[in-house]
Amino acid sequence: MDMASHPAMANARAHAPARWAALADAAAEANAFYMPEMLCAALDHLADGATVRVLEAQRDGELIGLMPVVVAARHGRLPLRCVANWMHDHCFFGAPLIRRGEEVAAWRELLGQLDGADWAPGFLHLRGLDAAGANAAALEALCVEQRRGRREVHRYDRAMLRSELDADAYWETHVRAKKRKELRRLQKRLAELGTVESRLLVDGAELAAWCGEFLALEAAGWKGAEGSALACRDEDAAFFRAACAAAFENRRLHFLRMDLDGRAIAMLVNFRHGEGAFSFKIAFDEALGRFSPGVLIEIANLQAVLGDPAIGWMDSCAAADHPMIDSLWGERRTITQYRIALRGAGRSVAFALANGVEALGQRLKGQI
């Protein structure tokens, strides 16, 4: 078993990112949040004193799987301790990095490590997976093979952008004529105030300034008021800057802004992995809310994504039924959670108890 925990990764950290990067390049399922640059930035700044273990699956000395996990004190409303894939507040997809062609083998090794770990209580709670993805398929096959308990806990659909159309054709096809007309009117009205320009970050010398502008723009809005903006916690802001810097260095940062007379009025940060991309955060000037700058920068993002042959799809990372992005993007991605049984004394009881309480709750609600 090759396993490291944070912060006691000092010996592994010197070489781990390179090994993880090689695995990520061959991953069956893209996940920018577990790319070395974002995972290491998160381990450095967002662990908050928790023990984050990075499980590594190997075959013949080759790294074929990677999954960061934590021990959770509760499982939803239940006071049951369990193992969970680590998803901090700014992580919106939880698929482990699994080498293409080694999906079942990697999961066999990862689950075997958890079965044998005396620190791993209860069961494995896997969050943020694509229901149609390689990890979900491999897990289903392996659990059937091993007669291991597996239960879907929750699922929802969120907006996704995946199309062979160009941006103009997509816009005409997927957005209602009335909405297109209204947005064109807002673009025209905004242009009456000054010069409006949209551009992607290409010059690394501008990165620090762009990050600072994004943090300030987000903090000036409702997220700042409720304390959820990145700038509200030094740790979150440091993570954002570190992740952006590392992703830019590796050509995986897709940072877009919309300016009015040279001043940022909307900014959008996306992170790439392979042919995919994940829409991370958006910020806009709420004083200009009557012009819908958040929607206007999403239109610019649509143009940038569908105009880039290197980007095959983008996950919105949005909540279910998001009124803005759902009206612009026509595709959907089903995100699911699983509860996976672990073997060992007392673990089957915890898995059965969680299933039983959940089933009882559904009956009381008249769902079954």
More confident residue, 57 or 11: 57
How high is the pLDDT of residue 18? Answer: 84
Q: Are 174 and 330 in contact, with CB atoms under 8 Å apart?
A: yes
pLDDT tens digit sequence for 20-44: 999 999 999 999 999 999 999 999 9
- Range in 84-93, 137-146, 337-346 with the lowest mean pLDDT: 337-346
| Cis-peptide into 323, omega within 30 deg | no
- Residue 343 CB-half CA count within 13 A: 11
One fold for 9-158+334-365 and 163-311:
yes
Name the band, by pLDDT with cuts 50, 70 and 90, for residue 11.
Answer: very low
Name the band, by pLDDT with cuts 50, 70 and 90, for residue 7.
Answer: very low
More confident residue, 109 or 9: 109
Is residue 12 pLDDT above 80, yes or no? no
How high is the pLDDT of residue 368? Answer: 52
CA separation for the pair 51, 80 (Å, rounded): 18
Contacts (Cβ under 8 Å, ≥6 apart) of 285: 217, 220, 221, 264, 265, 266, 293
- Mean pLDDT across the chain, nearest whole number? 93
How high is the pLDDT of residue 358? Answer: 82
Beta bridge partners of 155: 336
Is residue 14 pLDDT above 50, yes or no? no
Cα-based distances in Å from 310 to 126, 279, 307, 328: 30, 16, 9, 21
CA separation for the pair 184, 248 (Å, rounded): 32
Q: What value does the mean pLDDT take over residues 218-228? A: 96
Is residue 90 pLDDT above 60, yes or no? yes
Share of the chain above pLDDT 90, in %: 88
Q: Are 127 and 83 in contact, with CB atoms under 8 Å apart?
A: no
Domain definitions of the chain by residue range:
9-158+334-365, 163-311
Alpha-carbon torsion, ordered 179, 185, 190, 195, to 10 deg: 110
Which residue's structure tokens are 């912060």?
7
* Among 333, 322, 279, CA closest to 129: 333
Name the band, by pLDDT with cuts 50, 70 and 90, for residue 337.
Answer: very high
Q: Are 285 and 217 in contact, with CB atoms under 8 Å apart?
A: yes
Name the band, by pLDDT with cuts 50, 70 and 90, for residue 1.
Answer: very low
Q: Are 291 and 229 in contact, with CB atoms under 8 Å apart?
A: no
- Residue 139 CB-half CA count within 13 A: 27
CA separation for the pair 173, 85 (Å, rounded): 38
Is residue 10 pLDDT above 60, yes or no? no
- Range in 232-236, 329-333, 357-361 with the lowest mean pLDDT: 357-361
Is residue 2 pLDDT above 60, yes or no? no
Tell me the CATH number of domain 163-311, given options 3.40.630.30, 3.40.50.1970, 3.30.43.10, 3.30.930.10. 3.40.630.30
Is residue 94 pLDDT above 60, yes or no? yes
Structure token digits, residue 181: 């007309």
How high is the pLDDT of residue 77? Answer: 86
Is residue 251 pLDDT above 50, yes or no? yes
* Domain formed by 9-158+334-365, architecture: 3-Layer(aba) Sandwich (3.40)
Cα-based distances in Å from 350 to 68, 182, 344, 355: 22, 54, 11, 9
* Among 276, 270, 274, CA closest to 254: 270
Name the band, by pLDDT with cuts 50, 70 and 90, for residue 286.
Answer: very high
Q: Are 123 and 151 in contact, with CB atoms under 8 Å apart?
A: no
How high is the pLDDT of residue 199? Answer: 96
Contacts (Cβ under 8 Å, ≥6 apart) of 127: 84, 85, 87, 94, 337
Share of the chain above pLDDT 70, in %: 95
How high is the pLDDT of residue 9? Answer: 43
How high is the pLDDT of residue 367? Answer: 57
How high is the pLDDT of residue 207? Answer: 98
pTM of the model: 0.93
Burial of 325 (0-12, 13-18, 19+ CB in 10 A): buried
The dihedral built from the CA positions of residue 205, 206, 212 and 215, taken in this order, carries a sign that is negative
